[in-house]
Amino acid sequence: MTEATTRDLLIEIGTEELPPKSLLGLSEAFAAAIAKGLEQRQLAYHRITPYATPRRLAVIVSAVATQQADREVERRGPAFAAAYDKTGQPTKAVMGFAKSCGVDVAALTKVETDKGTWLVHRSVQTGQATTTLIPTLVEEALAALPIPKRMRWSNLPFEFVRPVHWIVLLLGNEVIEATILGIRSGRETRGHRFHQPAPVVLNHPNDYVKTLTETGYVIPAFATRRDQIRQGVAQAAKDTGGIAVIEEALLDEVTSLVEWPVPVVGNFEEKFLQVPAEAIIATMKGNQKCFPVVDAAGKLLPRFIAVSNLQSLQPEVVRQGNERVIRPRLSDAAFFWHQDRAKTLESRLEQLKTVMFQNKLGSLYDKSKRVAKLSGQMAKLLGGEELQGVRAALLSKCDLVTNMVSEFPELQGIMGEYYARHDGEIEGVAVAVREQYLPRFAGDVLPTTVLGQALSIADKLDTLVGIFGINQPPTGDKDPFGLRRAAISVLRMTIESKLPLDVQQLLIEAQAAYPQNLMQADTSTQVFDFMLERLRSYYQDQGVGYDVVDAVLACRPTSPLDADHRIRGIVAFRDQPDFISLASANKRIHNILKKTEENFPASPEPAHFNEAAEKQLYDQVQTVMSHTGPLVKQGDYHSTLQHLATLRSTIDNFFDTVMVMVEDEAVRKNRLAFLQTVRSLFLQVADISRLQV
């Protein structure tokens, strides 16, 4: 495509301040919708670059075609055999088809297909100009944006996330005339609300970034603005002898709040450092969108970095203003810290009766009582003190009704640990109150203490059983109680922390803590099946073959750690030369047993063996069983498979010389029982027949 047939396209939607937490998502969705619209209209382009600031969503499409390509349209008519009568005259069917195409019958052509010969009409459809297509494309893209609640403004009938004030549509240096959301398009954008309030004229899409930056005091590229904020904040902290704590979510939000970022260093009184650092940081981030500053050891310093949206002629006034605003917030945090410690966590347990966990499942008090029993049992299983496991669970939700956590929910567990220590609880209990929420997201750290592991798992299993029990499992992308995350968290803890827990039994005990008439009898089984499916996802993310996981889960191991040992054993074994032969033999045994409808004994009778090959295999199976029994108990499945591999040649010889399905009923049933014994030997590890060879 030549330069004459392509131009750069600028689309900018100017608005009032957009929701900061939605800006990046809206920008990405807008660019994707524009790309989709261009592709649907068969308009070729080179690249789409999104831009987003608090007051605009924009894209620049480089080298977009100025017109759709002409395309040949083929319209099929009646079959050639039905197109003419016996005298060779066109039938009504073909005459009607030709008329609908606007041509004579003679203009139709024949086409041969595998289903016969047909008459067709071929024509060339001239492509439309890009300028005529863009307005509708933009309207469709705006309508498709993920906006939960649209608003109207003035007395206009239009709806958008925020009122729209200007629209720029430039194809090359020409304005695309259109009216979108009640606004006439043009080439005038707006600069910074204070630095450049007058309209800014754009001559060409290529001028967009330079003009806005140099004339408008606006950095339009989200990523560029974010990098500038990151570097500016880091440098400002370094200049004061500290290190800025820059979390990505806060960085994105601040980037969405400013168009011309200027870091401002502020200070606060050292007395506020008596409040837990997490609470000070939470109020800085949540209320003031400021970045905390720490020393080289990670200790919080009495200063912060705000990001102003203008280059002030009086920076000292801006600094004082930020300090003046943040001080009351820090005072609130200090007040909460003082007030909350006036009551023990234990004294707040009764208050949990007024906080609903789930309407059908009762209050957080009820949940704490259920979790306490299971947490105590698990603490004992893991080598800890049962009563401490119970104590940690009873206190686990009490910080939810404190002033600090009510104001900053993200501090749940964190403040509980502080308050538990203040109350004189033992260290393990205090740490467990915090660790109950771990892991909080994919890849997050796991609980490291026995009490923390016990409490975290017990709490999550109680939630899983309860929500499944009232028939509200996850559906599609809806998972309001985070059950998928809870299941994966339990699996990660048991596997990665090497906890030898029987999850199926723990689910049964979790269900027993609920009233019997509240849920179906098989609820724990439903949850266990759900967790096995999550286990598939867990290993898929690690690149483990689906067939390996399927082979192991077919045996329904009740301990995730045991399942992991089996999977690792097979992964290590399948590279060995005996693997293919053993897998094939297992498939053969599986198919024979699957096809038979006969009942046969649970174990073979050696006296009924009349072939040397089956006697040899029987003797070797007995020897292998004596070795694999202890190995299976130890979870050493790799060594177990190595012993099972010694059966390869003997199994091959058995199938080469022995007919299983003979007419003699006693012999046939005895051989079927023997094959079942051999299969059961392998099922100690996995259903090897499911492995791909």
Eight-class DSSP state of 186: B
Task: Please compute, for residue 131, the number of CA atoms within 13 A of its CA located in the half-sphere on the CB side.
Answer: 12
pLDDT tens digits along 382-436? 999 999 999 999 999 999 999 999 999 999 999 999 999 999 999 999 999 999 9
Query: Highest mean pLDDT range out of 509-523, 583-597, 657-671, 677-691?
Result: 509-523
122 versus 144: which is more confidently predicted? 144
The pLDDT assigned to 354 comes to: 95
Mean pLDDT of 320-334: 95
Residues with Cβ within 8 Å of 624's Cβ and at least 6 positions away in sequence, in order, are 643, 644, 646, 647, 681
Residue 220 contacts residue 196 (beta carbons within 8 Å): no
pLDDT of residue 3: 47
For 54-77, what is the mean pLDDT?
88
3-state secondary structure of 10: strand
Query: Does position 48 have pLDDT exceeding 90, yes or no?
Result: yes
DSSP 271-328: GGGGS-HHHHHHHHHHHH--EEEE-TTSPEEEEEEEEESS--S-HHHHHHHHHHHHHH
pLDDT more than 70, % of the chain: 99
Q: Which has more pLDDT, 154 or 106?
A: 154
Contact 569, 641 (CB under 8 A): yes
Q: What is the reported pLDDT for 608?
A: 79
Nearest-angstrom CA–CA distance, 312 and 259: 14
- The two three-digit tokens of residue 114, written as one number: 């595998």
pLDDT tens, position by position, 20-43: 999 999 999 999 999 999 999 999
Q: What is the pLDDT of residues 152-205, one digit of tens each?
A: 998 889 999 999 999 999 999 999 999 999 999 999 999 999 999 999 999 999
Helices within 82-129 (DSSP H only): 92-101
- Tell me: pLDDT of 556 over 60: yes
User: Each residue of 83-97: pLDDT tens digit?
Assistant: 788 777 888 888 888
16, 45, 26: which is closest to 143 by C-alpha? 26
pLDDT at residue 1 tops 50 = no
pLDDT at 689 over 90: no
Q: Which amino acid is at 427?
A: E
pLDDT tens digits, one per residue of 471-515: 999 988 889 999 999 999 999 999 999 999 999 999 999 999 999
At 48, list the tokens: 């789409």
DSSP state of 165: E
* pLDDT at position 2 over 60: no
Predicted local distance difference test score (pLDDT) of residue 4: 53
Inform me whether the pLDDT recorded for 548 exceeds 60: yes
pLDDT in the model for residue 27: 97
CB-side exposure of 675: number of CA atoms within 13 Å? Answer: 25
Task: Please determine, for residue 119, whether its predicted confidence score (pLDDT) is greater than 90.
Answer: no
Residue 643 amino acid letter: H
Query: Which pLDDT score, from 0 to 100, does residue 690 have?
Result: 85
Q: What is the mean pLDDT of the chain?
A: 92
Would strands 262-267 and 300-308 be described as parallel, antiparallel, or unpaired?
antiparallel
Separation CA 394–CA 390 (nearest Å)? 6
Here the tokens at position 31 are 């660019």
Rounded mean pLDDT, 141-156: 92
Separation of alpha carbons 27 and 48, rounded Å = 12
Residue of 457, 486, 492, 441 lying closest to 384 (CA atoms): 457
Instruction: Name the more confident of 454 and 607.
Output: 454
Q: Is it true that the peptide bond before 577 is cis, omega within 30 degrees of 0? A: no
Measured distance CA(325)–CA(551) in Å, rounded: 61
Q: What is the pTM of this model?
A: 0.82
Q: Tell me the one-letter amino acid at 674.
A: F
Give the tokens for residue 86: 């016996």
Q: Which of 497, 501, 496, 459 is nearest to 481 (CA)?
A: 459
Identity of the amino acid at 396:
S
CB-based contact 264:305 (threshold 8 Å): yes
Average pLDDT (275-285) is 96
Highest mean pLDDT among 358-372, 659-673, 679-693: 358-372
C-alpha span between 199 and 188 (Å, rounded): 6
Taking residue 631's Cβ as centre, other Cβ atoms within 10 Å add up to 19
Residue type at 454?
A: A
Contact in structure between 52 and 24 (CB atoms under 8 Å) = yes
Does the structure show a pLDDT above 80 at 123?
no
pLDDT score for 658: 80
DSSP 514-578: S-GGGS-TTHHHHHHHHHHHHHHHHHHTTT--HHHHHHHHTT--S-HHHHHHHHHHHHHHTTSTH
Are 616 and 650 within 8 A, CB to CB?
A: yes
**514 near 469, Cβ under 8 Å?**
yes
Assign 112 to helix, strand or coil. Answer: strand
What is the share, in percent, of the chain residues with pLDDT greater than 90?
Answer: 69
Whether the CA torsion 386, 392, 395, 396 is positive or negative: it is: negative
Per the CB < 8 A criterion, the answer to whether 451 and 432 are in contact is: yes
Q: Which residues pair with 112 in a beta bridge?
A: 117
Structural domains present in the chain: 3-68+129-214 (no CATH), 71-125 (no CATH), 223-340 (no CATH), 359-543 (1.10.3210), 578-690 (1.10.730)
| Greater model confidence, 581 or 630 | 630
